[in-house]
Chains A and B, each alone.
Chain A
Amino acid sequence: MWGLNLPVVLALAAIGGVLAWRRANTLVWLLYTGGALWAFFRFGFAVPIPQSVATIYLGITGLALVCYASSSRERLSETIQPIQRLILEPRYRLALAGLLVALPALAAYNVYADLTVPLEAPGFGREVHPPPPTEMTVHDETIDMATAENPYLHYKHDDPELYAEHLENGRRVYYENCFWCHGDGMGGDGMFAHGLNPVPSNFNDVGTLPILQSSFVQWRIAKGAPGLPASGTPWDSAMPAWEKFLTNEEMWDVNLFIYDFNGYEPRALGQH
């Protein structure tokens, strides 16, 4: 739920509840807050968040905790006194010895884990739907990206039979050319998808076709990877420039078909 790893979040909240109930002292609360935030960032999300983001956030909250602890004389002494007692009072001698061993061991383990992390190929982000040009020319036809719509979409209401013909032609085009990557069911999981990086678009996804104008989809079909700006890492994408293989009508038809197959409508003009 909400992209969270619920058991972890609930467990952290439960520990907080117990501390409140037992009226834990300031030091314990400070340790709990820091530890709980660390655990939340590390294990609390269903999809792991980038290490750098977590590090920055933990750094800021760490500073905030220090500020909080030293913000008044009372808080400071509440924070420090338990530590002093641990160090001074003979009855804590065993706990102190344990701590003296445990902290260096933890630091050593951290360094070890950092050094022996398995090597990974460097990864770079890319813009999935980069801004399109204002117009494009395909097979000598110039298309204004802001205003162009699928010329066959209106047949859906005006001439259902003709619409069905265009859809069938789009189906032919799709299954002669597209499904190797985008998949039979259009889940972006075709038989070649595992060998491609970036992975092919998933047309079932509500975050893809419905948020795009059909002119954008047409741009991506006609110009493919070579038409992408650098932010879309055109050098990695296997999307062909279909104008090399298909006519304008075939590309509009397959554009029509992928929307229809998934039960989506293109984003209307001027709709944000």
Chain B
Amino acid sequence: MTGHAMGRTPAAATLAAALLVALPASAQVDLGTEEQRAAGKVVYDKYCGQCHGDTGDGNGYATPRVRPKPRDFTTGKYKFRTTPNGMLPTDDDLRRIIEIGAPYTSMPGWPNLTSAEIQNVIYYIKSFSPDFENPDRYAEPIEIPRPLESTEESIARGRVLYEEQACGACHGEVGRGDGASAPTLVNDKGDPIRAADLTQRWTYRGGPTKEDIYRTFSTGLNGTPMPSYADSLEVEDRQHLVNYVYSLGDGDDPNYGTLITAVYSDEPIDLQDGESLDALFESAPMTRFPLVGQITEPGRNFFPPVTSIEAQAVYNRDEIAFRVRWHDLRADTSGRNNPNLEVPMWDEDNGIGGDAADDSGDSDDFFGDFGGEEVPAEDDFFGDSGDDFFGDGGDDFFGTAVAGAGGAEFSDAVALQFPASLAPTESPELKPYFLYGDAQNPVDLWFVNLTYGVADTFRGRGSDAIEPTEADIVEAVTSYDQGAWTVTYKRRRSSRAGVSFAEEQYTPVAFSVWDGFNRERGNKRALSSWFYVYTEPSVEQAVAGPVLRAALIVLVVELLVVFLVRRRARQKAADEQAEAASLTATEAPAV
């Protein structure tokens, strides 16, 4: 692709001349040569068209099953730019996203493409929208000043601005993306869109640095509810706001772990005593685990909004307690949910497209009407779903609410999953299938439907074989605070039916989270692979003893060697002396 000539052919020269005549006085209009665009098309068709569509309209094969939706290049609207609100991006802006992608979206970075290939693709992408021929749509990039130091004053000033500008209306009071209007947000195509969780900087689509944040404030994200503050806030104020938003973050990196360390405590674990419970967990390390969509079994979840969960554990002589925490833009506590709920095939991608053929006749109507383009917000959609539960209330809700805002039907939920028994010693690698277990190796689920806030136990022998059990009593308390769910579980450490938590034991554990707002239920969930919980020894292992012992042993051996060598040398010297003496003695008479 890079082999294509970069020079101008007559055709390209003519085009360029025509542009110059039609659109004078703009140095920024650079649409490349026909060869470059043709070379760009080759790259685009191989790497980009599957999502952005072969005609650039954002309607590729993957589109129905990804969220946020791929960019529609025919609109000329771009989120991540260094140019003022409403303007076209620079080539460098486009290049940046192609090179590094947008984290936690379906847009990956393309480090394998050469610089020339990327430039050609940029020319080709620009050809999808006539806006790029219009010099009035171009503007100089904004200036991004060096970030201010994050002093207490600066952060405090930023906080005032955050409140004044009502950032919390979407992003939430403490920035967890849980503002009052967060559930209603859509982009200008009517697709649902999420306010960024400001506490998880690694998920910022536009990048995690202070410069990135400043750029977003100053340019806005075209086509989304995120405005530009270039007109309403002075440069310095925007910098203070950057510092405040930055201070909300938990770090640049999620630091995903693989192990929960359960710490021992002498204290009783009382779920009803919030304060002492918090104090107990204060001493337990917190580990963050990645969650991804369940896309292995039917009822697939292609765009789970919850991308990680934090977990910790404490235990005492008789009981063990787990605490998990994750962010959710609102508490859905009115619907139903359990791991068994069936998810019709068409609901995998929220009825946006695909897979209708596998379903009953009614859903065909649905797809006939919508042609896979519009997000359904029509009564038909749910009327036909064959779901009794819905009734009239559901229709009303969806008739008036924003498309995709389906919180009322399904509640938020969470589950811990453990093997029903530990692996046999001869094959310690053996685990149950991480998707609800298998026939030979079942799992136990500690499931909490957050509508009720109590733990139900299920035994899973595969995704289609989950049954409630009563063997163990698992208690739970739940709370939702400013965008964060916290669920604390407690069970006796020993169990006759399920797994027991012995000291110094590694026990496999996996997580599931259901976001009712995303219509998640049953198999449509966010899940983790198997991780482990390690029950730390109750008696703290002293380090000083073994360390001193090792040093002492080595020292004794050393001294022994030195002593022996010296003694032998002394003996030898003595012997020699004696010999010499005896020689002298015997020889003396002869002298």
Binary B-proximity of A92-114 (CB < 8 A = 1, otherwise 0): 00001001100111111011100
Q: Is A78 an interface residue (CB 8 A)?
A: no
**A175 & B532 in contact (Cβ 8 Å cutoff):** no
Interface code B409-446, partner A: CB below 8 Å = 1, 0 otherwise? 00000000000000000011111111100100100000
- Does any Cβ of A come within 8 Å of B371's Cβ? no
Known: A112-B547, A238-B529. A185 touches B47 (CB 8 A): yes
Q: Is B25 among interface residues, defined by CB-CB distance under 8 A?
A: no
CB contacts (< 8 Å) of A236 on chain B: these are 431, 434, 529-530
> Are B291's CB and A108's CB within 8 A?
no
B433 touching A230 by the CB < 8 A rule? no
Query: Looking at the complex, which of B7-15, B30-38, B331-339, B553-561 is the stretch in contact with chain A?
Result: B553-561
Q: Does B354 lie at the interface of the complex (its beta carbon under 8 Å from any beta carbon of A)? A: yes
Residue interface mask A185-197, B partner, CB < 8 A = 1: 1010111101111
Task: Give Cα distance in the complex from A63 to B297, angstroms.
Answer: 55
Q: B565 near A84 (CB under 8 angstroms)?
A: yes
- Does B73 count as interface, using CB distance less than 8 angstroms? no
Structural contact, B50 and A171, CB atoms closer than 8 A: yes
Nearest residue, chain B, Cβ from A120: B259
Separation in Å of the A206 CB from the closest CB of chain B? 15
Closest chain B CB from A143 CB (angstroms)? 22
Q: How many pairs of A and B residues are in contact by the CB < 8 Å rule?
A: 156
| Known contacts A104-B555, A104-B558, A184-B47; is-contact A87 B65 (Cβ 8 Å) | no
- With A and B bound together, what is the CA distance between A236 and B431 in angstroms? 8
Q: By the criterion CB–CB under 8 Å, are B60 and A175 in contact?
A: yes
Question: Interface of chain A, helix or strand or loop or mixed?
Answer: helix
Q: Are B530 and A226 in contact (CB under 8 A)?
A: no
A73 within 8 A of B: no
Interface residues of B in 502-530 (CB under 8 A from A): 506, 528-530
Shortest beta-carbon distance from A119 to chain B in Å: 6
A191: which of B105, B259, B261, B298 is its contact (CB, 8 Å)?
A: B105
CB distance from A175 to the nearest CB of B (A): 4
Is A224 interfacial (CB 8 A cutoff)?
yes
Q: Is B566 an interface residue (CB 8 A)?
A: yes
B106 and A191 contacting across the interface, CB-CB below 8 Å: yes
* Residues 51-68 (chain A) with a chain B CB within 8 angstroms: none
Determine whether the beta carbon of B547 is less than 8 Å from that of A88: no
Chain A residues lying within 8 Å of B548, measured Cβ to Cβ, are 108
The residues in A between 158 and 190 inclusive whose CB is less than 8 angstroms from any CB of B are 171-172, 174-177, 179-181, 183-185, 187, 189-190
Nearest chain A CB to B210 CB, angstrom units: 25
Which residue of A has the minimal Cβ distance to B558?
Answer: A100
Closest to B258 in A: A121
Contacting pair B532 A121 (CB below 8 A):
yes
Within 8 A of A (CB), among B270-324: 290-293, 295-298, 302
A195 contacts B541, CB within 8 Å?
no
Kindly identify which residue among B60, B302, B428, B543 contacts A116, using a CB–CB cutoff of 8 Å.
Answer: B543
Docked CA distance A79–B434 (Å): 58
Q: Is residue A234 contacting chain B, with contact meaning CB distance below 8 A?
A: yes
Contacts A120-B258, A184-B108, A191-B108 given: A233-B429 contact, CB under 8 Å? yes
In the complex, residue of chain A having the shortest beta-carbon distance to the beta carbon of B559: A100
* A21 part of interface (Cβ distance < 8 Å): no
Docked CA distance A180–B303 (Å):
10
B497 at the interface (CB under 8 A from A): no
Give the chain A neighbours of B558 by CB distance below 8 A. Answer: 99-100, 103-104
A235 interfacial contact with B, CB 8 Å: yes
Tell me which residues from 213 to 263 in chain A have a Cβ below 8 Å from any Cβ of chain B: 224-226, 230, 233-236, 238-240, 244-245, 261
Whether the pair B530, A180 counts as a contact (CB closer than 8 A) is no
Q: Is B569 an interface residue (CB 8 A)?
A: yes
Within the complex, which residue of B61, B110, B428 is in contact with A124, where a contact is CB–CB below 8 Å?
A: B428
Closest residue to A224 on the B side, CB-wise? Answer: B296
Is B112 part of the contact surface with A, judged by Cβ < 8 Å?
Answer: yes
**CB-defined A-B contacts under 8 Å, sample of 21:** A83-B565, A96-B562, A100-B562, A103-B555, A104-B554, A104-B558, A108-B548, A121-B531, A172-B61, A179-B50, A184-B106, A191-B106, A195-B291, A197-B529, A226-B433, A235-B433, A235-B438, A235-B441, A238-B295, A238-B296, A238-B435
In the complex, besides A192-B292, A195-B292, A240-B296, 13 extra interface pairs with C-beta distance below 8 angstroms are A88-B565, A104-B554, A107-B554, A115-B547, A171-B50, A175-B50, A180-B106, A180-B293, A190-B108, A194-B256, A194-B292, A197-B529, A233-B429
Minimum-distance CB pairs A-B, first 5 = A195-B292, A124-B429, A175-B50, A104-B551, A192-B292
